[in-house]
Structure 1
Amino acid sequence: MASINFIYRSKKEFAPLILRLLHKNEIDLFINTNYNCKRSFWFDSKNKKQLKYPKTNCKEALEVKSTIIKLEEHIFNKFNQDYNVIRIDKNWLQECIDIFFNRVSYQKQKTKELFPSNLTEYISHYIEKAPTIKNSKGGFGLSKSRIDDFKTLRRFLKEFQGKKKIKIIDVNLNFSNEFLSWMIDDKKYASGYAGRMLSAIKTICNDASFHGLETHPQLVKVTGYKTKNKHIIVLTPDEIELIKNTHFKLKSLKNAKKWLLFGCYTGQRVSDLLNITSNNIHMRNNLEVIEIKQQKTGKQVTIPLLNETKEIISDGFPHKISQQKFNDYIKDVCRISGIDTITEGMLFNKDSKRREYGLYKKWQLVSSHICRRSFCTNNFGTLPNYLIMSVTGHSSEKTFLGYIGKTSYDYAKQFKELYYKNQS
């Protein structure tokens, strides 16, 4: 929890207050508020130590106390809003104070000098300051994939706006509807992807608003969204056995087979999976485990080394390959293994450069996500969800269940099976 202290440093009877903002061991900022008051409000004649709040022995002192308590509340609200989003520094604190005291002329001049008012130029500004933006891991700096998202968004908006530049203040409900319609109906992008881009626009506008740029009153109603994945592709235990028992001549496919099976028994994202080596294996209290720190979340997870996993790496770990090659090779692994059940799904069309719904052979729909999803799905109903999540690193059960696409029917079936199992 952050804390704020007001300090009267001057020996003069009338001087500005200094504000100190503290948070854990991360933040310790001092700044001149340029808010003047009397020294006598802050010191008791019997005690030389400064009071936390001014004495309220007169109307003027009461007004000072009321003002600084409101200022505290204003800064705390901004802090809670921005702590996980941007860097909290002196510039941030100065802006909070200036906004509170409505120092408009200063704020407008500063905003005009530092921040562009049109959307695409502000995205460029946001990308430039990406290393200073607080990320979800608690550090600073946006990921490369996140920066790429904003670069793609900038390209989309340049095409969408044509010659007429869209300003920050133009982002309202009408803009939202037109942009989504253009992305989905004209450009033929998936609804979920369009919603993701709209969410990125909202992020940009919120940042602009924080820095003093005027936004549309309807901005609060402009929201991005995610769509539920209706076509979740997993390998069943029988299909995993088929792959296990299939012989491959090419070394590249033998290696990809190892990674694929290894992933189905460890439940990790491909970015973590392909970085696991023998150095990640440790003996803890007579239990052999794999220990990794997940790249996306920064979580430390411990994965039990199952007998099936030991068998896969009994003759050595697979050698490292790129995510792209892994994606390509496992399609061939599944095709040769006979994973060809006709399955509903979305497949990328090279001609239209879009993912298109259809009925395809299952091996065509295989991607790196299949490892983690197969692990979750095949263990669901057999092991408690919290145990599966402790291995995968999912933060909430809602996210976990959405990831494997379980329905109310699945929960009812699981309930019935466990109910009668416990009765016996």
Structure 2
Amino acid sequence: MTTNQTFAITFIARVDRKEKANCSIYARINVNGKRAEFSVVKSVPIEAWNPTKERIDNKYRDFRKSNTYIEQVRAKIVNIYRDLILKEEFISPVIIKNYYFGNIAEGKTLIELFEYHNTSQVKILSPGTLKNYYTTHKYIIKYLREEKMIDDIPLVKVNYQFITGFDAYLRNYTPTDHHKPLSNNGVMKHLERFRKVTTMAIKLEWLEKDPFEKFKFSFNKVDRGYLTDNELEVIKNKSFKIPRLQFVKDLFVFSCYTGLSYIDVRNLTSENVLLGIDGEYWIQTVRQKTEMVVNIPILPVAWGIINKYKDHPRALNDGVLFPKLSNQKLNSYLKEVGDMCGLQKKLTFHMARHTFATTVTLSNGVPIETVSKVLGHSNLSTTMIYARVLKTKISEDMHKLKDKLNDQKDKINKCS
């Protein structure tokens, strides 16, 4: 473990809930922006605490004894930190707190594991994927505090019962903000990430047995939304007087004809537009999610949108093909676009990628292997999700079959 990290100990006062005139003094451990706290001195008059000096004055009867204890706590925490540095151990506020209270007899802890995983994977996982692990980590902390009434738990105590309890907690969790309750698949995604973290623990020899061994993952099949030919035409032909809606519509259509995700569209620069082996222009980029190289021949609709924004001041200033817009605003504006186009489906930017796979390519006879390469999938099974047999395609294929059977019948009649 490198020593290139921030470390600090501060002592703060928290007002007692029952006795408003008193407070409790807490030790706060900070490491790299993360913190852990624990109570040091209780029931001190608020006016006796000096936050600048982090000391108690003589308005409190045991101020000398308490100040001595505070300094002893500070010294002990500093010594623990130095020992961990010398041992080249992974360091976090929770780990230091566990050492302080002697809660290390049973080995590594669950929060320690998550912190190790999230720190060690910063340069390996994409920002979007890492953000999802941070969210799972937060749910684990909530579960420990709200259901188990503890801040952490030894890894050896993470078992099937703990996992099923966490599963139930996620399903019953009611968000206090604008987010919706978790769906079954949302719960499964958190548990999948949880299992990947415990698998890391097994590889690190922090765990001997897989706690997920008997747990069965159960995902509900979801039909991925996409636009039909007619719906895509409606959006393509719709013009908006409001610039932000017109731009969002253009960006959505661009994705419908390239299959690129929002983050990959946002990162495009002029250097990603190259002449291909066929003398036509192609987009060559690396997908942020999978780091797969993708080569996409630029279809006329997409080329027209590139040219439309090539001289846009904001795009030129940022050195990208299109002006930047946050994903949240983009999807919010897309909802307006869908409503104004009279569509019953709720538009999201990822629907454009599904539309490219289903309506623009596969339903027009592009081989699934080619679609897989253009989408940047690491294996064909991922692309198979999009391999729907559309009613229009069934009708078209059956008409061809009828014509072929009629031709055969005519030939037989002529011969007879």
TM-score by length of 1: 0.58
Q: State the distance in 2 between where 1:381 and 1:155 align.
A: 42
1:122 aligns with 2:113: yes
Distance 1:282 1:407, change over 3 A: closer
- Deviation of the 1:373 alpha carbon: 0.4
Deviation at 1:405, TM superposition (A): 7.0
Q: Which residue of 1 is the match for residue 37 of structure 2?
A: none
- Indicate the larger mover: 411-420 or 205-214: 411-420
2:154 is aligned to 167
Question: Residue 321 of structure 1 aligns with which residue?
Answer: 325
Q: Which amino acid aligns with 2:342?
A: G
Give 1:284's aligned residue: 276
369, 383, 387: which one pairs with 2:350? 369
- 1:185 — aligned with what? 172
Q: After superposition, where does 1:86-125 map in structure 2 within 5 Å?
A: 117-125=108-116
Q: How does 1:17-166 map to 2 (within 5 A)?
A: 117-131=108-122, 140-161=123-144, 162-164=148-150, 165-166=152-153
Matched, 1:243 2:235: yes
Residues 282 and 291, structure 1, Cα contact 8 Å, conserved in 2: yes
Q: CA deviation at 1:375?
A: 0.5
Q: Alignment partner of 1:220: what SS? A: coil
1:414–1:152 distance in 2 versus 1, CA, 3 Å: farther
Residue 126 of structure 2 contacts residue 289 of structure 2 at CA under 8 Å; is this kept in 1? no
Q: 1:393 aligns with which of 376, 384, 387?
A: 376
Q: Aligned equivalents of 1:333 and 1:408: distance in 2?
A: 25
Is the 1:381–1:414 contact (alpha carbons within 8 Å) kept by the matching residues of 2? no
Unaligned runs of 5+ in 2: 1-86, 88-102, 175-180, 311-321, 408-416
* CA distance in 2: counterparts of 1:113 and 1:184, whole angstroms: 32
**1:354-373, CA deviations, whole angstroms, 9 ceiling, x for partnerless residues?**
xxxxxxxx2xx211101100
CA contact (8 A) 1:269 1:369 kept: yes
After TM superposition, give the deviation of residue 239 of structure 1 in Å. 1.6
In the alignment, what sits opposite 2:337?
A: 333
Does the 8 Å contact 1:123/1:204 carry over to 2? yes
Q: Distance in 2 between matches of 1:121 and 1:145?
A: 22
Partners of 1:116 and 1:122 within 8 A in 2: no
> How far is the alpha carbon of 1:245 from its aligned partner?
2.1
Matches of 2:240 and 2:195, distance apart in 1: 49
| Whole-angstrom distance in 1 between the partners of 2:211 and 2:265 | 43
Matching residue of 1:64: none
Deviation at 1:259, TM superposition (A): 0.6
Distance in 2 (CA, whole Å) between partners of 1:130 and 1:289 is: 33
Distance, in Å, in 1 between the alignment partners of 2:200 and 2:381 is: 29
- Residues 166-213 of structure 1: per-residue CA shift (max 9 Å, x gap): 331223222222221221134442111211222222222222223333
Task: Give, as a single letter, the amino acid of the residue that structure 2 aligns with 1:152.
Answer: T
Aligned residues: 281
5+ long unaligned stretches in structure 1 = 1-90, 92-111, 132-139, 342-361
**Residues 198, 210 of structure 2: 8 Å contact kept:** no
Q: Equivalents in 1 of 2:240, 2:302: separation in Å?
A: 19
Does 2:300 match 1:303?
no
Name the SS for the 1:371 alignment partner.
helix
Q: Which residue of structure 1 lines up, in the alignment, with residue 259 of structure 2?
A: 267
- Identity, % of aligned positions: 23
TM-aligned CA distance change 1:125 to 1:234, over 3 Å: same
TM-score (norm 2): 0.59
